[in-house]
Amino acid sequence: MAEYEPQRIEAKWQRVWEEKGVFRAIDGDSGRPKYYVLEMLPYPSGTLHMGHMRNYTIGDAVARYKRMCGYNVLHPMGWDAFGLPAENAAIKAGIHPREWTNTNIREFRRVLRRFGFSYDWQREISTCEPEYYRWNQWFFLRMLEMGIAFRKKSKVNWCPECATVLANEQVIDGFCWRHETTRVEMKELEQWFLRITQYSDELLADMAQLRNGWPERVLLMQENWIGKSRGARVNFSVDGTRLGIEVFTTRIDTIYGASALVIAAGHAKMNDLLEGVRGRAAMDAQIKSMLQRSTKAADIATAEKEGFFTGCFAVNPFSGEKVPVWVGNFVLAEYGTGAVMCVPAHDQRDYEFAKKYDLAIKVVVQPVAGQPLRAERMNQAYTDYGNLVDSGRYSQLSSEQAIEKMAADAESAGFGHAETTYRLKDWGVSRQRYWGTPIPVVHCAKDGIVPVPDEQLPVRLPENVSITGLGQSPLASVPAWLNTTCPKCGGPARRETDTMDTFVDSSWYFYRYTDPHNSSAAFDKGKVAYWFQIDQYVGGITHAILHLLYSRFFCKVMRDLKLVGHDEPIARLFTQGMVQKGGVAMSKSRGNVVGAIDMADKYGCDTGRLYTLFAAPPEKDLEWSEQGIEGSARFLNRVFRLVDKYGARLKNVSLEVGGSSDGSPTVKEKLLVRRLHQTLKRVTEDFDTRWHFNTSIALIMELVNELMAQEPLDRDISPAALKGVFEGLVLMLSPMAPHIAEELWAMLGNSDGIYTQKWPRYSAELAREEQIEIPVQINGKVRARIMVEAGLSEDKLKQQAMNDPHLASLVAGKQIVKVVVVPNKLVNIVVR
């Protein structure tokens, strides 16, 4: 009797798969449909734990299933290898970032291989290699030509801990995304940006293409992030000066109700406005304290509204009314125009501000129905649309009509116009760090900023750099690298010392997998055309806005460069839940990780895979349970023992998979074959539509339970029938627990591996039950069950139910009002 030894079996089959190259994707194979399934590439740092493994296991199960269904599957893996931790390690331990990174990559590769994921390893990429980042530089130069990459002096988010600039997307509630306790500061710097805002509308509109394949909430988060808002700009002139202050409003229809103009503390015209105003010094002090306080978003939102009157008045261009100009802490300098009109009756924030500082509350929009509003009776703002009152010649228009007409009138009168604003800002990509892609431009005293010519790419990172984490970009301290000649005039020039945000690397990496070794282009257009779009992307929800938005943006740039023919790179996205322990996501810093290798050593990777798929549906968070994984281990052991017990007897039996034996099948044969096909049907459906692997596994467990219940399996069942059932079982298990499946397949006498096998087709005929149990209800409560022939007509089913003696006695003496019959499902007798 053999014993299930997962480690031995797993190593053995991994070797076979490797030797036969069974996971290789074939470029341009026209005989089979293509399927590109991808898991988000990991950042090689720390240890791989079961949270990572869950992600890869889901992708792998799908890849293997699709391969069995006859697809030419592209399932690659690579490394997001540039980034800060490598540099920090260099500072701390004196290891070169490249060495640190490559050591981690080796470890990650070892773990992923240990789990037997069906990657085409020949396509492996690592973003820190010049062969890869060279194309980051190439794309950057194209974007420079297109005007999408540009330089501007701007206030940037600066993390003192990272000693570098952060993108808006990397600032979380005013703190660094890597350092939860480090407050992000604002600094004025010359920076490189990518003009993602040029695609704002398209990024929004093309979500229509993603509606069917992406989770609703990811699209929603992106939509909110882009934050499109239609409204109008209106210029208020400051009384007694030549100064104008523009406001942005989505509710121009309420402008007659404006009782103040409120500007942000950081408003660009603050200095001009306060010029010569009395009490200036006190105001400056207040402004300063307001500017310092803008920190954590959640605090800001709940903070008490504060402000002060500037002593200036502005003229409402519609009404000619003079309104006081205030500075308010609730107005954002970065959004819209940094100034708002304060309409207390129709905006809740304005209402609170007005209440505190005793500003006039003037109702100018009345609800269409119900009691008319009266300012003195209001205890909150009325923010819905309605009909205008006390609004000059616009009175009686509806809000909708007024919004359109007033914007048009403002435009023809020259003091405003309709405008759309976005929350999305251009993507700052400059980083004052070493371990990233050098930005391929030089600074020449004569010619200014000059792009490095394509043929001089890649601009390689110098290897001998002292990294201190202090001060300027580390690249500035390598004179041999820094000093170069200007490609234009040949004179002395200095290289750009900023490197690119690593999100640039991951914005297009999945294209490189289609052509990973191309040294003359980022990729061959034909290969991308063959493999794209990505049919299925699998990853965590954490990247809902950063990576997934940047990737969409890059795709559109590539399309405009005529490199790709599609608008969106990813047809379907699946966001799997996190693996938690103690109610929180596994992470090294929390110290609650369950190591992947530990699991493989203790139970075998098949058990680890099976458990992560079984414990919860893949989109849900999963709480790791040591007892749970024991259960999965027990199950695989049971299957192994069962096949082992009868395998020898079945080895030399030949058959059609899942077929029945000749002649008249026994009751046991019919039952087991039927169960197999019923299971097959539902497991196939789970793979094709829902990805609820937990129910698939439950069904397979039920099949195994039935087999055990029917023991002994060498009596009343032909070897061929039994072998057919066993083989079907093993094939179904193979995408989820591939190693043990191969072993069992071999134990059943097959010399060709499962990797040569097609996914079994179920037969509706064989799956059909002959006799089924029908619950019979009386007034909706189950009172009896009757066994009837399957597929019985409505009339006959009703008749059989009514003829049942037990039911007849229950119904006796009552009036039958109605009988509801659902063929093959149930009967409900309604009595009075």
- Assess 297 for contact with RNA (CB under 7 A): yes
Q: What residues does 234 pair with on adjacent strands?
A: 247, 416
The pattern of x and - marking residues 724 through 763 that bind RNA according to CB under 7 A reads ----------------------------------------
What's the min distance (Å) between Cβ of 248 and RNA?
A: 5
Residue 434 burial (C-beta neighbours within 10 Å; 0-12, 13-18, 19+): buried
- Assess 775 for contact with RNA (CB under 7 A): yes
Q: Which of 97, 338, 451, 516 binds RNA (CB under 7 A)?
A: 338
The pattern of x and - marking residues 463 through 502 that bind RNA according to CB under 7 A reads ----------------------------------------
Residue 580 burial (C-beta neighbours within 10 Å; 0-12, 13-18, 19+): middle
Select 67 or 346, whichever has its Cβ closest to RNA.
346
Q: Which of 265, 557, 596, 616 binds RNA (CB under 7 A)?
A: 616
What's the min distance (Å) between Cβ of 26 and RNA?
A: 33
Select 93 or 301, whichever has its Cβ closest to RNA.
301
User: With contacts defined by CB under 7 A, how many residues of the chain interact with RNA?
Assistant: 90
The upper half-sphere exposure of residue 5, i.e. CA atoms within 13 Å in the direction of its Cβ, equals 7
Q: What residues does 798 pair with on adjacent strands?
A: none
Residue 474 near residue 434 (C-beta atoms within 8 A): yes
Residue 340 near residue 247 (C-beta atoms within 8 A): yes
What's the min distance (Å) between Cβ of 613 and RNA?
A: 11
Select 507 or 612, whichever has its Cβ closest to RNA.
612
**Coil, strand or helix at 57:** helix
Cα 464 to chain centroid distance, Å, stands at 37
What's the min distance (Å) between Cβ of 249 and RNA?
A: 3
- Assess 5 for contact with RNA (CB under 7 A): no
Q: Which of 212, 371, 519, 689 binds RNA (CB under 7 A)?
A: 689
- Assess 609 for contact with RNA (CB under 7 A): no
Dihedral sign, Cα of residue 727, residue 731, residue 736, residue 742:
positive
For residue 7, what are the contacts with CB-CB under 8 A and spacing of at least 6?
Answer: 600, 601, 604
- Assess 387 for contact with RNA (CB under 7 A): no
Element (H, E) at 122: none
Select 138 or 422, whichever has its Cβ closest to RNA.
422
Q: Which of 103, 122, 224, 289 binds RNA (CB under 7 A)?
A: 224
Q: Under rule CB under 7 A, which residues in 690-719 are in contact with RNA?
A: 690, 692, 694-695, 697-698, 701-702, 705, 708-709
Calculate the alpha carbon distances from 428 to 19, 100, 225, 308, 499 in Å. 46, 27, 16, 34, 11
- Assess 790 for contact with RNA (CB under 7 A): no
Question: E strands, 345-486, where?
Answer: 365-366, 387-388, 416-421, 427-428, 430-431, 441-444, 448-451, 483-485
Query: Phi/psi of residue 263, each to 5°?
Result: -115, 155
Structure tokens at 309: 């009157």
Q: Which of 685, 767, 786, 823 binds RNA (CB under 7 A)?
A: 685
Select 140 or 357, whichever has its Cβ closest to RNA.
357
Query: Phi/psi of residue 73, each to 5°?
Result: -100, 130
Q: Which of 632, 660, 684, 757 binds RNA (CB under 7 A)?
A: 632
What's the min distance (Å) between Cβ of 232 and RNA?
A: 8
**Coil, strand or helix at 495:** strand
- Assess 682 for contact with RNA (CB under 7 A): yes
- Assess 582 for contact with RNA (CB under 7 A): no
Rounded CA-CA distance 441/179 in Å is 31
What's the min distance (Å) between Cβ of 173 and RNA?
A: 7
What's the min distance (Å) between Cβ of 275 and RNA?
A: 23
Select 34 or 251, whichever has its Cβ closest to RNA.
251
DSSP codes of every residue in 649-680: HHTT----TTPPPSSSPPHHHHHHHHHHHHHH
Structure tokens at 819: 């009988």
Q: Under rule CB under 7 A, which residues in 155-174 are in contact with RNA?
A: 172-173
**Coil, strand or helix at 123:** helix
- Assess 122 for contact with RNA (CB under 7 A): no
- Assess 2 for contact with RNA (CB under 7 A): no
Other Cβ atoms less than 10 A from the Cβ of 148: the count is 22
What's the min distance (Å) between Cβ of 496 and RNA?
A: 30
Stretch that binds RNA, among 42-50, 191-199, 215-223, 438-446 (CB under 7 A): 215-223
Stretch that binds RNA, among 31-39, 50-58, 299-307, 727-735 (CB under 7 A): 299-307
- Assess 51 for contact with RNA (CB under 7 A): no
Q: Under rule CB under 7 A, which residues in 805-824 are in contact with RNA?
A: 818, 820, 822
**Cβ-count burial 79-105 (b if 16+ within 10 Å, e if not):** bbbbbbbbbbbbeeeeebbbebbbebb
- Assess 595 for contact with RNA (CB under 7 A): no
Select 7 or 484, whichever has its Cβ closest to RNA.
7
Query: Phi/psi of residue 281, each to 5°?
Result: -60, -45
Question: E strands, 250-398, where?
Answer: 260-263, 307-315, 322-328, 339-342, 365-366, 387-388
Q: Under rule CB under 7 A, which residues in 241-270 are in contact with RNA?
A: 248-251, 264
What's the min distance (Å) between Cβ of 587 and RNA?
A: 14
- Assess 659 for contact with RNA (CB under 7 A): no
- Assess 32 for contact with RNA (CB under 7 A): no
Q: Which of 179, 590, 620, 761 binds RNA (CB under 7 A)?
A: 620
Q: Under rule CB under 7 A, which residues in 533-552 are in contact with RNA?
A: 541, 545
Give the single-character DSSP code of 413. Answer: H
Stretch that binds RNA, among 94-102, 335-343, 400-408, 760-768 (CB under 7 A): 335-343
Dihedral sign, Cα of residue 173, residue 177, residue 181, residue 185:
negative
Q: Under rule CB under 7 A, which residues in 433-462 are in contact with RNA?
A: none
Q: In terms of DSSP bridges, do strands 164-166 and 149-159 run parallel, antiparallel, or are they unpaired?
A: antiparallel
